[in-house]
Amino acid sequence: MTLKAPKNLLPLPNMKTRVSIIEDDERLRSLFAGWLGKADGLRLVGEFGDAETALESLPQQAPDVVLVDINLPGMDGVECVRRLKPMMPETQFMMVTVYEDAKRIVDALAAGASGYLLKRAKREELLEAIIEVRNGGSPMTSSIARKLVQTFQQAPAVPPSDSIQLAPREQQVLDLIVQGYVTKEIADLLQISIATIKTYIRRIYEKLHAHSRGEAVAKYLGR
């Protein structure tokens, strides 16, 4: 299994991806803001030092992608994402943190995060991850991807309830999502149209009561 970012990902023509940051470390927040400010196709629309302030303002800003630290003063980043995702279902949340233990990874995905990077990520890795998550991918630092795969291998891959059953093709699509493939790649592998794959993904979300790829993966792992 691989969870590598697809190559040659580019922002949509003439459309800038709107990005917000939730990070209490002012130095790091400023660094990320500087990277975004110089990146083609990206636009910084908000910076927050705590979850509480972000909860008040982000729904109105409606960014495409939000970078979220876990260890925030007051409410932590995972709980922040858990509360924001239902209010902002189209927004993609990506954790950018120092934590790399399996529990926090799965908790973040279950809360609605679609990506998980470590703060040691280099500029290009972060910028590429933003575009990937905007395009429907689930970018992860390689060591995080390995931990998630290990968790997947050790846990029973079953739906959260016996009453929830995926059709064979839905199960096949979900298996590929867990492995990190984006919609177009799944369509190419299964030789099915992108529209049909999107229909399968929508049905998977409905059956698992999930709002994002990350949440679907977490529930697939038995959460």
* Domain limit, last residue, from 97, 115, 149: 149
Output the CA angle 128-134-138, nearest 5 degrees: 75
* Domain limit, last residue, from 115, 134, 149: 149
Question: Do 123 and 160 share a structural domain?
Answer: no
129 vs 205, which has greater pLDDT?
A: 129
β-bridge pairing 17-22 and 92-97:
unpaired
The CATH number covering residue 82 comes to: 3.40.50.2300
Rounded to 10°, the helix 123-134/26-37 angle is 70
Question: Do 134 and 175 share a structural domain?
Answer: no
What is the residue-averaged pLDDT of the chain? 83
Helical ranges in the chain per DSSP H: 26-37, 51-61, 77-87, 102-111, 123-134, 142-154, 168-178, 183-190, 194-208, 213-220
| Residue 144 binned pLDDT confidence (cut-offs 50, 70, 90) | confident
What pLDDT shows up at residue 9?
43
Q: Which of 132, 128, 99, 97 is nearest to 35 (CA)?
A: 128
What pLDDT shows up at residue 207?
86
Question: Do 211 and 125 share a structural domain?
Answer: no
* Domain limit, last residue, from 119, 149, 179: 149
What pLDDT shows up at residue 124?
92
Q: Which two tokens stand for residue 147?
A: 């931990």
The CATH number covering residue 188 comes to: 1.10.10.10
| Residue 125 binned pLDDT confidence (cut-offs 50, 70, 90) | very high
What pLDDT shows up at residue 153?
59
SS (H, E, C) 73-108: CCCCHHHHHHHHHHHCCCCEEEEEECCCCHHHHHHH
Q: Is residue 174 part of a domain?
A: yes
Work out the average pLDDT over 24-49.
Answer: 94
Please say if the pLDDT value at position 195 is more than 80. yes
pLDDT digits (tens, 9 = 90+) for 155-178: 554 444 445 688 889 988 988 887
pTM comes to 0.68
Question: Do 63 and 141 share a structural domain?
Answer: yes
Residue count of the chain, please give it: 223
Please say if the pLDDT value at position 67 is more than 90. yes
| Residue 154 binned pLDDT confidence (cut-offs 50, 70, 90) | low
Work out the average pLDDT over 89-94.
Answer: 92
Task: Residue 60: give the domain boundaries.
Answer: 17-149
